[in-house]
Amino acid sequence: MASSRKSRPKVERGAAAPDAVSVALRGALAAARVAEPAIEEGLALGAARRRAKRGPLLIAFSGGRDSTVLLHAACALRSARVTGFRELLAVHVHHGLQAQADAWAEHCRALCESWQVPFELCRVEVRRAGRGIEAAARDARYAALAQVALAHRTSAVLTAHHRDDRIETFLIQWMRGAGPDGLAAIPVARPFADGTLTLLRPLLEVSRAQIDDYAAAVDLPFLEDPSNTDTALLRNAIRHRVLPELDAARPGFQLAAARSIELVSDASQALRSLAADDLAACTANVAAGALRLDRLAWLAPARQRLVLRAWLAAAGSEAPSLARLNEIQQQALTARSDARLLVRLPGGVDVRRHRGLLVLHTSQVAERSGRAVQWQGEDEVVLPEWGGTLLFKPAAGEGFDPDWLRSAPLEVRARGGGERFKPHASRPSRTLKRLFQDAGIAEFERAALPLVWRDDRLIFVAGLGADVRLIDADGPRVELAWQPAADLITRP
């Protein structure tokens, strides 16, 4: 590891130089502060957080040319006493992926000490988990930045992405077949750390050439990462091979490309807003998480897909491929109303249809054999193979005799077919199938509902309650209840 220059110039005090970098940095921070309510729109941020005094401006500092220029410009604005730059904090994330990583961290620490900028070093473990090394490192880096930012109550987190980075990202997303959100590439500002912070890229209107000019004019010391020349990495191949060819074919194309990306970003925001309105209409007056198919059917196909994406995202489901999304759309809206719908998504979630609603349901993969439970008076018995907990609560009215429950083992079983049950005093016993239908419990949910037996007699069914022939209100009584561990089951 070596820096491109060994000198470490002090930041001159006084007015900041009127260069493109400083102007962009100052303008972006001012715009982000004005737009803060818009950035936070729809996020559950308490009034106390908004009133609280915020901490320093956090700058992600790798020691490379871009982040060194960003930090130097921020120091110049701090010296000029520009609003928002009074307190700075540089954070270097140590990924441990390069042999020079320790030396890079020490370079960053020394430079921050020279420039009188508080410095914090974060060591992270990059876990690929089936992803590319760049994506895994990025996730680890942003998680570390969020942790430090929250600890210091920072006003914003700044990264040194510039216009060329944005064009590279656009091309990468285009090659991957991304939609408007992906093609919008890198936004200038977005909510960060679950919406409690703002992630700001103030140099997106600044070119790599302008950053090079800044670094040369001020004689900045910065690090050179050898991996930046590895054209086996897609981003580097685009940077060193594709963009020069495009510039040769159309000199100065970057300005026009950046304008196109801004237009795509505007379109993406408009589509998200439209999808949110349509989703609200399709989920009104139904159980949380369910989607009304009659209202979805009134929308144009493209808007239907927008709603489905927004619905799945709101449920925390991984974004499906276009083919999988089309499958959901076709099965939900074109199949017969009595046809079964099942589309499996990553993460163990199924998309199902029930009584005119589209619902999400946890995939059931565990084997469920009979299990004996000797109740000794505890409040609950966890049944991991069923994905929930059997609760034993003091009954305010009718319930089971606790001594009777203790006197013999209980057995938890799955449905076998043909069971009869009597949950209502004024109605005759009926088959579980009929009772589930009357209760509006979807067929695909029933296998996940445990049945509790005592001496080969069915005494309790999750979703239906207790057999009324075995409960009364004479003396202390216990009520059985079923609590799913993760309620991804949506009922109308």
Helix axes 208-218, 65-79, angle to 10 degrees: 60
**Maximum separation of any 2 CA atoms in the chain, in Å:** 91
Q: What does the pLDDT average to over 170-199?
A: 87
Amino acid at the residue 106: E
**Count of CB atoms situated within 10 Å of the CB of 355:** 12
**Average per-residue pLDDT in the chain?**
84
3-state secondary structure of 394: strand
Reported pTM: 0.69
- In the chain the first and final C-alpha atoms are separated, in Å, by 62
Q: What is the pLDDT of residue 366?
A: 52
3-state secondary structure of 347: coil
- 249-253, 336-340, 410-414, 436-440: the lowest-pLDDT one: 336-340
Cα radius of gyration rounded to whole Å, the chain: 30
Q: What is the pLDDT of residue 367?
A: 57
Contact between residue 315 and residue 347 where contact means Cβ atoms under 8 Å apart: no
Q: Which position has the higher pLDDT, 144 or 233?
A: 144
Backbone angles phi, psi at 41, to 5 degrees: -60, 135
- 18-22, 173-177, 328-332: the lowest-pLDDT one: 18-22
3-state secondary structure of 34: helix
Q: Which helix (H) or strand (E) holds 148?
A: helix 133-152
Token pair, residue 435, equals 């009772």
- d(CA 339, CA 285) in angstroms, rounded, equals 24
Please name the residues in contact with 324: beta carbons below 8 A apart, sequence gap of 6 or more: 343, 345
Q: Which position has the higher pLDDT, 75 or 321?
A: 75
- d(CA 75, CA 85) in angstroms, rounded, equals 8
Q: What does the pLDDT average to over 138-151?
A: 91
- d(CA 380, CA 334) in angstroms, rounded, equals 44
The single residue listed with the structure tokens 């009718």 is 398
Q: Which ranges of 184-321 does DSSP label H, i.e. alpha helix?
A: 208-218, 234-237, 243-249, 253-283, 293-297, 301-314
Decide if pLDDT at 455 tops 80: yes
Strands, DSSP E only, in 115-210? Answer: 119-123, 156-158, 189-192, 197-200
Half-sphere exposure of 380 (CA within 13 A, CB side): 12
pLDDT-based confidence at 12, cuts 50/70/90? very low
- Which residue in 89, 203, 75 sits closest to 149, CA to CA? 89
Query: Could you read off the pLDDT of 302-325 as tens digits, one per residue?
Result: 999 999 999 988 888 877 888 888
Contact between residue 391 and residue 383 where contact means Cβ atoms under 8 Å apart: no
Partners of 192 in beta bridges: 197
* All structural domains of the chain: 20-249 (3.40.50.620), 286-362 (1.20.59.20), 371-484 (no CATH)
Query: Could you read off the pLDDT of 265-286 as tens digits, one per residue?
Result: 999 999 999 999 999 999 988 8
Highest mean pLDDT out of 259-273, 419-433, 460-474: 259-273
Query: Could you read off the pLDDT of 217-268 as tens digits, one per residue?
Result: 999 999 988 888 888 888 899 999 999 999 999 998 999 999 999 999 999 9
β-pairing, 478-484 with 388-394? Answer: antiparallel
pLDDT-based confidence at 383, cuts 50/70/90? confident
Q: What is the pLDDT of residue 8?
A: 38
- 50-59, 102-111, 253-262, 360-369: the lowest-pLDDT one: 360-369
Q: What is the pLDDT of residue 239?
A: 93
Token pair, residue 300, equals 């144009």
